[in-house]
């Protein structure tokens, strides 16, 4: 009974408090603005960018020298001297090593003597033939003897040619005692020191790699190959086998792509083990900054030029597996718009579906919008770098 009386006593006070709250709300005292509504959210808006672009595809690769030469001796002998500074830049024809040439000089002298003897035999044989030709008419020499003299001349001439060839070989061997650089480039370490015996196909003296230009080698998978082939067939993008498509190259730890080059090779088959095909680009390297073995980030022209709709990444929201943005109408209402995004172009994203030229998108303060159709107070912002533009009321500029 007491509990029931207590409930009856409290109920009038609660009723009065509820009525007062309702009255206060009806009078506008309980909301964040007129009629109990919160004020419009202040957001930065920017018009979508429409401009011609080309797409670039990213790969990982390695820097390689265009020419790499392992210098080996062509003759057997003792290494006499090293004539270069290890790691230096050398020119084609620069002397790098000398091999003891005394034995080869002696061989050249001997072969020259053989040539002289062979020439003397030729002269004597020709003189005998001339005399026989005069005597055969007088029948002092038989025809058989005349033919024998002609054979002796031909034999002597053949011996002379053999001696001259042997002299050429001896001169070559003597020349091979001087090992020169076959290309312009940078020489490595001297792998053999003076006093050691070197032999053909058994000793590597050093290596020389070319510097300028230089190659970057990379691999693409089957899907990228098929994409390029399809674009080549439609004429949107030429094949790198037929055209020197542009390439941009960056190095590990960097964000930009400071080196420019062009494609110069695509392999003739796909490796069945890896499912990839090799491509190669030629990069100017006048200062020798790029050296073989460096990791390279490679960008290859992936499309022809086309008009694209672009927005900044900050405008994009995610709802489970869907991407959307808020489009601001002329009466400053933010409406949700689902979009399909493409690749990144510098700091922007390509919008493949969902937006058209002239539409304004929220790029700053998008999280202040809690539902589609919410009123907003827009200010003009910069699509390329949201938050960097002066705060100007949208529509007042």
pLDDT digits (tens, 9 = 90+) for 303-321: 888 899 999 999 999 988 8
Confidence of residue 255 (pLDDT cuts 50, 70, 90): confident
Q: For residue 193, tell me if it sits in a domain.
A: no
Report whether pLDDT(238) > 60: yes
- Final residue before a domain boundary, out of 277, 301, 325: 301
Q: Rounded to whole angstroms, how far apart are CA atoms 358 and 383? A: 13
Same domain, yes or no, for 237 and 297? Answer: yes
Domain range enclosing 153: 101-176
Same domain, yes or no, for 218 and 286? Answer: yes
Q: For residue 94, tell me if it sits in a domain.
A: no
- Final residue before a domain boundary, out of 176, 203, 224: 176
User: What value does the mean pLDDT take over residues 190-206?
Assistant: 94
Same domain, yes or no, for 286 and 332? Answer: no
A 10 A CB-CB count for 153 gives 19
Q: For residue 257, tell me if it sits in a domain.
A: yes
User: What value does the mean pLDDT take over residues 235-261?
Assistant: 92
Q: State the pLDDT at residue 21.
A: 40
Q: What is the CATH number of the domain that holds 61?
A: 2.40.30.170
Same domain, yes or no, for 280 and 233? Answer: yes
Q: Rounded to whole angstroms, how far apart are CA atoms 374 and 389? A: 24
Integer CA distances (angstroms), 294 to 159, 214, 224, in order = 57, 11, 24
214: Cα separation from own chain's centroid: 10
Whole-model pTM: value is: 0.70
Q: How many domains does the chain have?
A: 3
Q: What is the CATH number of the domain that holds 385?
A: 2.40.420.20
Q: Rounded to whole angstroms, how far apart are CA atoms 59 and 216? A: 11
Report whether pLDDT(163) > 70: yes
pLDDT digits (tens, 9 = 90+) for 83-126: 999 999 999 999 999 999 999 999 999 999 999 999 999 999 88
Q: What is the CATH number of the domain that holds 152?
A: 1.10.287.470
């Amino acid at each position: 009974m007491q509990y029931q009386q207590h409930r009856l006593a409290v109920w009038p006070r609660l009723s009065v408090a509820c009525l007062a709250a309702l009255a206060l709300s009806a009078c506008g005292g309980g909301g964040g603005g007129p009629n109990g509504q919160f004020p419009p959210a202040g957001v930065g808006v920017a018009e979508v960018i429409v401009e011609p672009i080309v797409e670039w595809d990213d790969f990982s690769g390695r820097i390689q020298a265009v020419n790499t030469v392992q210098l080996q001796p062509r003759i057997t002998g003792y290494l006499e001297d090293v004539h270069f500074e290890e790691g230096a830049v050398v020119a084609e024809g620069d002397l790098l090593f000398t091999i003891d040439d005394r034995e080869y000089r002696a061989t050249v002298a001997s072969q020259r003597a053989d040539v002289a003897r062979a020439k003397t035999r030729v002269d004597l044989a020709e003189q005998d033939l001339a005399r026989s030709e005069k005597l055969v008419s007088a029948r002092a020499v038989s025809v058989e003897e005349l033919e024998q003299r002609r054979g002796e001349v031909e034999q002597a001439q053949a011996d002379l040619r053999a001696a001259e060839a042997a002299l050429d070989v001896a001169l070559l061997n003597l020349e091979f005692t001087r090992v020169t650089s076959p290309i312009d480039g940078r020489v490595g370490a001297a792998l053999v020191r003076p006093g050691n015996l070197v032999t053909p196909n058994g000793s590597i003296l050093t290596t020389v790699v070319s510097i300028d230009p230089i190659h970057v080698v990379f691999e693409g998978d089957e899907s990228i190959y098929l994409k390029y082939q399809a674009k080549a067939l439609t004429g949107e993008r030429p094949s790198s086998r037929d055209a020197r498509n542009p390439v941009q190259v960056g190095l590990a730890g960097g964000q930009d792509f400071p080196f420019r080059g062009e494609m110069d090779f695509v392999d003739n088959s796909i490796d069945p083990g890896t499912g990839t095909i090799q491509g190669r680009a030629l990069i100017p390297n006048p200062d020798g900054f790029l050296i073989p073995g460096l990791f390279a980030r490679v960008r290859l022209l992936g499309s022809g030029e086309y008009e694209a709709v672009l927005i900044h990444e900050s405008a994009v929201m995610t709802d489970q597996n869907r991407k959307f943005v808020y489009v601001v109408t002329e009466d400053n209402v933010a409406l949700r718009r689902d979009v399909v995004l493409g690749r990144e172009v510098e700091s922007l994203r390509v919008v493949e579906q969902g937006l058209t030229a002239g539409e304004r998108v929220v790029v700053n303060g998008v999280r202040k919008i809690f539902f589609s159709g919410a009123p907003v107070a827009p200010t003009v912002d910069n699509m390329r770098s949201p938050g960097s533009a002066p705060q100007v009321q949208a529509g007042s500029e």
